[in-house]
Amino acid sequence: MENFKNRNKDVRENNLNNSSGNLNSNNNQRDYDKEPLVVENKAEFYMAFFGFCIFVFMIYMYLYEPNETRFRHLFIIFPVFGLPFIFDFIRNRNKKYLIKLTNTKIINNLNKKPIKTIFLDEILYVKRAYFLRDRKQLENQNIFYKFALKYDPYSTIIACLIICFAVFLILVTNFSMSNYQVVFILFVGIFSFWICKFLYFLIFKKEIRFTFYDYLVIYANEKNINFIIQSNNDYKLLREFFIKQKNIDIDKVECHIWLDDK
């Protein structure tokens, strides 16, 4: 009888310990309404830094074989490929985009004012991308882009192949480079956006960041919210948020080389 009482006492103590442990774990769970997850979207800054890196690379190419032709190339090609990114960043330098994630919704804020909201119940799916293209902006530029985008993604793939082939010919004929050097430069060019972000975090943030598909795109009906995942800690917090709130693991979502911001 005494053993039975002792056993019941142990069971009650275990139940109390388990219930207190559950309460503590529940208390430790983050309430995103009281403490929202806020991520800064610095996409324009990274594009400007990318433009700056292009400028540095082109100066290096000029120093590699300095002559008047290379100098002209520097100030003809760079305004096309580098300056637009830098000008966009300077023009929008006072705009601060913050993504605020709560228990019920995700809000895209511009200078602390909401410009787009997606409720968690509205989310259809989440994707990640290496590069996000503003399709509407391209369509509004001219008839050529509008026509080409009708046959996307084939038109984009063909355009990329033509550009790579043209760069290959220019480097071989004008810069006296071997095929291996040209292939290396093309490889660096394809992954240049990721390399620039990697260097930025390594030099300025003292962080080794390998995230390749760092654009996170959250889709709802006829709208989306997208932003670049910055640090490794941001990635960890975002992954935790989507697992808890939507049972979506951003480690396992679809990843694309490019997506359109429709």
Instruction: Provide the pLDDT for residue 6.
Output: 45
> What values do phi and psi take at 58, rounded to 5?
-70, -35
Looking at residue 238, the DSSP 8-state letter turns out to be H
Distance CA 106, CA 101 (A): 5
Is the pLDDT higher at 2 or at 150? 150
What local confidence, expressed as pLDDT, does residue 251 receive?
Answer: 95
Label residue 235 by pLDDT band (50, 70, 90): very high
Dump pLDDT digits (tens) for 32-90. 999 999 999 888 788 788 878 877 777 776 676 666 565 566 566 655 556 677 777 78
- 152 within 8 A of 141, measured Cβ to Cβ: no
Sequence-ordered strand ranges (E) for the chain: 37-41, 97-101, 105-110, 113-119, 125-133, 215-220, 223-228, 254-260
3-class DSSP state of 232:
helix
Within 10 angstroms of residue 181's Cβ, the number of other Cβ atoms is 13
Q: Read off the pLDDT of residues 164-220 as tens digits, 9 standing for 90 and up.
A: 777 667 666 666 666 677 677 777 777 878 888 888 888 888 899 889 899 999 999
Instruction: Report the length, in residues, of the chain.
Output: 262
Exposure letters 70-94 (e unless 16+ CB within 10 A, then b):
beebeeeebeeebeebbeebeeeee
By DSSP bridging, strand 113-119 and strand 125-133 are: unpaired
pLDDT, position 49: 84
In this prediction the pTM is: 0.71
pLDDT bin (cut points 50, 70, 90) of residue 8 is very low
Q: Do the Cβ atoms of 106 and 99 come closer than 8 Å? A: yes
* Mean local confidence (pLDDT), 113-118: 94
